[in-house]
Amino acid sequence: MAFFSSLAAAIDSYTGLSPAAFFTIVALMVGAYRLVSAFFVYPDEESAAKRSLAPQMPPPPEGFSPPPQPVQLGDITLEDLKAYDGSDPNKPLLVAIKGQVYDVSIGRLFYGPGGPYAFFAGRETSRALALMSFDPRDLNSDLSDLSEAELEVLHDWEEKFKEKYVKVGNVVAGNSKDEDESRKEIKRDED
Ligand code: HEM
């Protein structure tokens, strides 16, 4: 008890404050120091803190291989595009919007077999996306009778695809490569 009364006397004589006021001020100063110093974290401390907080990714399932880097295909006909509908796991998944072909392999959960939007894979989707239609008859590039609002919807989809996926080619009119090849074969036979 003698210790506390001499401490109180010392505080009073040095600071002119009551012990309660003195300790309140000390507590406020410590709090303010801790608050301000929390803003100045060393970079390596910060990354260590982030690393420990980051959710740990589970290891990929056995047999899983990430989709390969998109490959530029150049010009492709609608007929040849159909081969990229996910039925061949060795081929990328492609979707066309306004004649631009995007590699959507990273969206396999959406467009791969069994996915909710699998019917878009390997197809020109402009009309269907503009109309928000699941009707297979709308899987084409006919925009001739669409309203401004529908064209705007399509524009938004196009922007989303541009941002998320790599463009790998353009849809061109014409025969599929297979047809061209068989024509060449026939021509060779005739020669
Ligand atoms: C029943 C109404 C619908 C619901 C609840 C729904 C829900 C969703 C959800 C939750 C996503 C994932 C969004 C993301 O995380 O990026 C998505 C993506 C998508 N939706 Fe729908 N959707 C509906 C109708 C439609 C319709 C009518 C179309 C077009 C005909 C459509 C086309 C798409 C496409 C293309 C994607 C994938 C976009 C991408 O590649 O990131 N959806 N939808």
**Tens-place pLDDT, residues 17-44:** 777 776 677 677 777 778 776 766 555 5
E strands, 20-165, are 74-77, 94-97, 100-103
Q: Determine which residue's CA is closest to atom 2 belonging to ligand 1.
A: 132
Position with higher pLDDT, 102 vs 63? 102
Q: What is the pLDDT of residues 122-181, one digit of tens each?
A: 999 999 999 999 999 999 999 999 999 999 999 999 999 999 999 999 999 987 776 666
CA of 188 to the centre of ligand 1 (A): 48
Query: Residue 174 has what pLDDT?
Result: 84
Q: Determine which residue's CA is closest to atom 11 belonging to ligand 1.
A: 110
CA of 41 to the centre of ligand 1 (A): 41
CA of 129 to the centre of ligand 1 (A): 10
Whether residues 89 and 161 fall in one domain: yes
Whether residues 82 and 12 fall in one domain: no
Whether residues 155 and 94 fall in one domain: yes
Ligand 1 proximal residues by C-beta, below 6 Å: 107, 110, 117, 128-129, 132-134, 164
Query: Residue 133 has what pLDDT?
Result: 98
Position with higher pLDDT, 122 vs 53? 122
Whether residues 84 and 165 fall in one domain: yes
Which residues, in sequence order, are CB contacts of 19 under 8 Å at separation 6+? Answer: 7, 8, 11, 12
Whether residues 157 and 79 fall in one domain: yes
For residue 68, tell me if it sits in a domain: no
Pair of tokens at residue 45: 């401390």
CA of 168 to the centre of ligand 1 (A): 22
Would the pLDDT of 89 be above 70? Answer: yes
